[in-house]
Chain A
Amino acid sequence: MKNSLMNKIVIVDYGLGNIRSIKHKLEKYNYTVSLSNKANEIESADLLILPGVGNFKVGMENIQNLDLITCLNNAVLKKKKPIIGICLGMQLMTSYSEEGDCAGLNWVNARTKKFFFEDSKLKIPNVGWRTNELLKPNNYFNQIPKDKYFYFTHSYYVDCKEKEDVIAQSYYGNKFTSVFQKDNIFGVQFHPEKSHLNGFRLLLNFMEKNL
């Protein structure tokens, strides 16, 4: 169902992330999207997007300083609003990150770890187009051909502790969780808004299935 004026999509603006890009692209598809760091707007959203590019510790500090932890917990854990975390946004949903030795939002039983390779032929950050292997069927990947690559750019990766939360994995030196889902919480390490139209289809599917 296309979004009507009744449906509110809110991109959480905590100072990190390519939010304009996501907003404009969704608006081209007739969605009404706002950027916000206000508690009442976040709690009353119908769908949330947690973007993010940058430093985990800085991200968590910004969220704390903006006093967003309570309203995010309310919206996501209590009211079960659908939320998609992208890249750093996905990592913030975990319990802890080695980047800054810092606690996360702790919504998903997972930790964020630094890539490290003995054989330093593999450079860090992991930048580029990588495979995304679906480990179980997932509606958000409808109409996306299986062999499509997605764009990743990160120095830290998510290590999911609960197998049932892992939807897809990617590979860079080692396998790592590229997509997790726990109830209304959905996280992707890659950038769907930067992975060609197939990638954007994922975002559109997330909108369509939740609104």
Chain B
Amino acid sequence: MIQVQNLVKTFGPKRAVNGVTFSVEKGEVLGFLGPNGAGKSTTMRMITGFIPPTDGTVKVGGYDIQQSPIEAKKLIGYLPENAPAYNDMTVLSFLNFAAEIRGLRGEERKRAVNRVVEMCFLETVLYQSIDTLSKGFRHRTCFAQSIIHDPPVLVLDEPTDGLDPNQKHEVRGLIRRMGQNKAIVFSTHILEEVEAACTRAIIIDRGQIVANGTPEELKRKADGAGAVLLKLRGVFANAATPKLSALPTARKVNVVREENDLLVLRIYPREGLKDGELARSVAESAWQEKWVVEDLHTEEGRLDEVFRSITMPDTKVNA
């Protein structure tokens, strides 16, 4: 549905977006990650046709956003950053306006408005003017506007920004559900959101894509991915560490914590092991040594670690 080819945008001497290429198909939810100022919003503005790219092309549903903007824009629902809305209008008249401009009329318009009011829980504020709304309601109003014509493509710029945890959960659920039959791109800098809602994630930094994959694939890139955490009681570090280091599956053993009689170790795997292989061998040797094991599990690797190591390579933290 969305094809972005080698997109470039320069503002004066600054290259805000520098050769971004990706595509999103129906049924995909693409998370767009990156530090502030990485070019996320600029990319989204080019996809939705608000600003023309310096170079490269965007195609939405086969229509080039530069050549046939109207046809392309009809397919897109867009929630801009900070959820702008006409302050002097009521929620209802704002949604009616959005529906009208999307070409919905009469009964059809009424039905569309009712549908999004229900989806975004706006019943209680329908006749309130937008400038009196709380941030959460304001955000949902603008979100409602973006889905009023049930578009096959959704572009959401920080859709959960400024919402409380319950509302965040709600919106993520909504995105995931809608993602089953739409192509969705949304930007965020909350990493748990990517795991909760995305089928794929792109990390962008200084205008360039630095990682692209499913959340699981990205997590595997983390330093600590696949490491085994072992919690022992009544064992000394200088007794356990050499034993575990000698395992053919282990690359390195770190003492995470040692206090009183509690010892926490992290054992890193060698390359090319199967899932669970390291954990099994650690368990076997613990059993042989008759250690008292309080906890033993394989760590998944954390997205924020990946994110940090990719976007801030100079300050790489060794776990």
Check if A and B associate: no
Q: Which residues from chain A sit less than 8 Å from chain B, CB to CB?
A: none
Q: Which residues from chain B sit less than 8 Å from chain A, CB to CB?
A: none
